[in-house]
Amino acid sequence: MLGYILRRLLSLCFVLLVVSALVFVLMNLVPGGPFTLADRGYSGAALENLERKYGLDKPIHERYINYLTSALQLDFGNSFSVAGNPPVSELIARIWPVTFQLGLYTILLSFGLGITLGIIAAYHHNGLVDNIVTFVATAGIAVPNFIIATWFLLIFGFQNGWGVESKWIIGPIVPGGAAILSWDYFLPVLTYALAPLALVSRYTRSSFSDVLSADFIRTARAKGLSERFITLNHVFRNALIPMITVLLPQIPNLLTGSLFIEVVYGVPGLGKFFVTSIFNRDYPMIMGLVLLIALLWGLTYLITDILYTVIDPRIRLGETKGA
């Protein structure tokens, strides 16, 4: 197992290298640059000075090597478009906690409620509860989250500002940080959770229904085992593997933010910065965010593979049968 994890971590480093190279080349192939967009009023001499200051006057391969050397020292450069040109690492550390908290609460709500509804629907197959869960799942997947956000704003009223101290339920751990829990979070979390909740309940229902119809479940019931024992020790364990395969990769999406939700509710989060940095050609910010997302995806798939062996000991990672 340890050897497998080490090999996967090495392969993840290679993936990050390839992703960084592709993104770096593609964003530099796009015509224009961070200081030539719109009418910024830079003279030719001023533009040359800016490009020289940020190293944009050098060949692309030399710039990439310089960036890679700095990134290995955890220096991802300074933002071009944010006021004050703060370091990318500091900027991400400042804006990601809000997105991370919203994503964490969304995961707890969507996975907790979705798994519960999916199990109930599977045990009441083709019944009223099953039909209601199926309808909610279909609606949650079909309706875009920015439409749901608009409905919530019309029903519950607009949110004025963000991070107001009077709305805190549990304040921040460190001074100046984001509140642990605030009334500001409720509408964004509800909006954000509907789509993953629909997906979780749908796949939970499907996985549990397949296991409940298996022969070994009928045999367990024929032996007189309690329904609770069968659910916890037989149904749940066998239904988890297909659920993990589909559901766990949703976590990186939820932890890195949504443009529509952050714009509608005025959340100062990561998703909005990602899109604005693309429009502003903020190269260091684009690279930093892409590498962060790629790292989260890689770690998620590694954790998924490890969980396979925990749930089903028959699965052995990185082993091949002898001839």
84-120 burial, b for 16+ CB within 10 Å, e for fewer? eeebbbebbeebbbbbbbbbebbbebbbeebbebbbb
The reply to whether 121 and 263 lie within a common domain is yes
Assigned token pair, 207:
């996985």
Displacement of CA 237 from its chain's centroid (Å):
25
pLDDT digits 0-9 by tens, 118-136: 888 888 888 888 888 888 7
- Quick one: pLDDT at residue 21? 92
pLDDT digits 0-9 by tens, 221-276: 888 888 888 888 888 878 887 778 777 888 887 877 777 788 777 787 787 788 88
- The fraction of the chain above a pLDDT of 90, given in percent, is 4
**Can you tell me the distance from the alpha carbon of 206 to that of 232, in angstroms, rounded to the nearest whole number?**
17
The reply to whether 138 and 278 lie within a common domain is yes
Q: Does 177 have pLDDT greater than 70?
A: no
**Can you tell me the distance from the alpha carbon of 74 to that of 311, in angstroms, rounded to the nearest whole number?**
36
Instruction: For the chain, give the mean pLDDT.
Output: 80
pLDDT digits 0-9 by tens, 279-294: 888 888 889 889 988 9
The reply to whether 173 and 129 lie within a common domain is yes
Grouping H, G, I as helix, E, B as strand and the rest as coil, residue 87 is strand
The reply to whether 53 and 125 lie within a common domain is no
Backbone angles phi, psi at 249, to 5 degrees: -65, -10
Counts of helices then strands in the chain (DSSP H, E): 14, 2
Residue 130 lies in a domain: yes
Q: Which residues pair with 289 in a beta bridge?
A: none
In which band, very low, low, confident or very high, does the pLDDT at 323 lie, cut at 50, 70 and 90? very low
- The fraction of the chain above a pLDDT of 70, given in percent, is 86
In which band, very low, low, confident or very high, does the pLDDT at 19 lie, cut at 50, 70 and 90? very high
The reply to whether 27 and 106 lie within a common domain is no
Contacts 24+ apart (CB under 8 A), 87-91: 88/284, 88/285, 88/287, 88/288, 89/288, 91/273, 91/285
- Quick one: pLDDT at residue 247? 78
Residue 87 lies in a domain: no
The reply to whether 222 and 165 lie within a common domain is yes
The reply to whether 15 and 117 lie within a common domain is no
The reply to whether 66 and 35 lie within a common domain is yes
In which band, very low, low, confident or very high, does the pLDDT at 167 lie, cut at 50, 70 and 90? low
In which band, very low, low, confident or very high, does the pLDDT at 322 lie, cut at 50, 70 and 90? very low
- Quick one: pLDDT at residue 315? 65
Residue 190 lies in a domain: yes
Residue 112 lies in a domain: yes
- Quick one: pLDDT at residue 302? 86
Assigned token pair, 151:
């409905």
What's the number of domains the chain is made of?
Answer: 2
Displacement of CA 107 from its chain's centroid (Å):
10
The reply to whether 68 and 107 lie within a common domain is no
Residue 322 lies in a domain: no
Place of tokens 């988890």: 240
- What residues make up the domain containing 26? 2-72
Which of residues 318 and 84 earns the better pLDDT score?
84
Q: Does 22 have pLDDT greater than 90?
A: yes
pLDDT digits 0-9 by tens, 88-103: 888 888 888 888 888 8
